[in-house]
Structure 1
């Protein structure tokens, strides 16, 4: 397994937090409204403004040194037409990475198929939920539909962190299976500073944070000092890299 640390995905609620996340070293700035659910969506006007700011970063910093930009499509019912429309709305605003929640449902595969046309034009990330007994069997379907990647998050933010639901061995199996289908991987879900060392060993491409970055929890405001602590912990040398 590579000793490169996972990238830092920082979820932000407004343009000011976008700037703080960029300055704090986030690899992906993720547009999410935590007050509106696990994957609460920004408004269309706010998404457009965020893309304008992100494009300005490209001019200032260069295309390859600015962080990537993602946005959630909201907590949508697992109805193919609705979930596709929500994801299309995010992509139409110019956001290059669209995160779509795949909640437990007998219609999950239909929703994945409905997103395949968009996955041919944008980078679509499917989000599974650790507290809903996720079926890793759908990773093959995500790969076939052209998804760029897959994350595991938590749906109920009061039910504890990701690590309370899935152990590192299971998460490692998820990462390995996702990679087998050509998918990049991310882990999120009320992650805390103390969760980072064990999760680094899982080998996911990204770890995602919101509450750990904020004063007052996930619906609070992003705190540069807390972001700095997470950034530093992600880059601490592991036992294997000290050897």
Structure 2
């Protein structure tokens, strides 16, 4: 079964998503970029409030969009977000220069980092294999561009399936995200990642990912990922 990760920007959205069936709550500010970060003070407050009602619901948070070479800034953000009490800290990795070094650096930090492999130009299988080898608890395959193209428009699905299989063989969770919608449901089910992450698909379609989360959409996606037939 694939679990639903809902990206939320506020405590109200976090409660709505959790109540509607999202198995993982991801704190992100979509108006600040692909991995736009929520202020760490807000993260800490949301974590406390959410855990009071949902004590075992995993919570992740992004650190903002940084280039691979900005290791000092990335380190500071990772440690600050981790100290706010989340279970996982998500960090974007762009393919190319500095990607391997950044992954190795992240693996050395005293935090539960989940690398987000930005795959707008295809999946870097070697980078995905390295992430699994380094012992990260999970890997996310996502896109940086939010321009109407989904992850599956950008990657070779067979290569992505091989990366997911490689990760699973090493005990590493895999997640897919990147402007995914209902037309992608069959592919998600075929790939069977551990987690599928959404933002825009959970919001009013008139406003997209910058709009307000709709708990009815969260509920439909949770049911669909669990194999139920739902009206869309």
Same fold (TM over 0.5): yes
Question: Do 1:84 and 1:111's aligned partners in 2 also have CA atoms closer than 8 Å?
Answer: no
The answer to whether the 8 A contact 2:121-2:154 is kept is no
Matched with 2:75 is 84
1:241 maps to none
Q: What's the CA shift for 1:178?
A: 1.7
Candidates 18, 36, 57, aligned match of 2:32: 36
TM-score normalised to the size of structure 2? Answer: 0.91
Aligned-CA RMSD value:
1.7
C-alpha distance in 2 between matches for 1:110 and 1:201:
32
1:176 and 2:169 matched: no
Distance in 2, Cα, partners of 1:82 & 1:134: 26
Checking the alignment, whether the CA contact within 8 Å between 1:10 and 1:29 is kept in structure 2 is yes
- Judged with a 3 Å threshold, the aligned counterparts in structure 2 of structure 1 residues 22 and 40 are, in CA distance, closer, same or farther, namely same
Q: How does 1:1-243 map to 2 (within 5 A)?
A: 5-58=1-54, 63=55, 66-79=56-69, 80-118=71-109, 121-215=110-204, 216-237=207-228
- Cα distance in 1 between the residues matched to 2:218 and 2:129: 34
Q: CA deviation at 1:194?
A: 2.2
What's the CA shift for 1:171? 2.0
What are structure 2's unaligned runs of at least 5 residues? Answer: none
The DSSP-based 3-state class of the residue aligned with 1:133 is coil
How far does residue 53 in structure 1 lie from its aligned partner after superposition?
A: 1.4
Measured in 2, the distance between the counterparts of 1:163 and 1:144 equals 24
1:159 positional shift? 4.4
Number of aligned residue pairs: give it.
226
Q: CA deviation at 1:117?
A: 2.7
TM-score, normalised to structure 1's length?
Answer: 0.87
Deviations 1:34-82 (A, max 9, x none): 0011100010111111121133124xxxx4xx42101111111212222
Distance 2:103 2:143 in 1: 19
Q: Indicate conservation of the 8 Å contact 1:140/1:181, yes or no.
A: no
Which digits, 9 at most, give the CA deviation of each residue in 1:108-140, with x for residues without a partner?
11111221232xx43221111221333121234
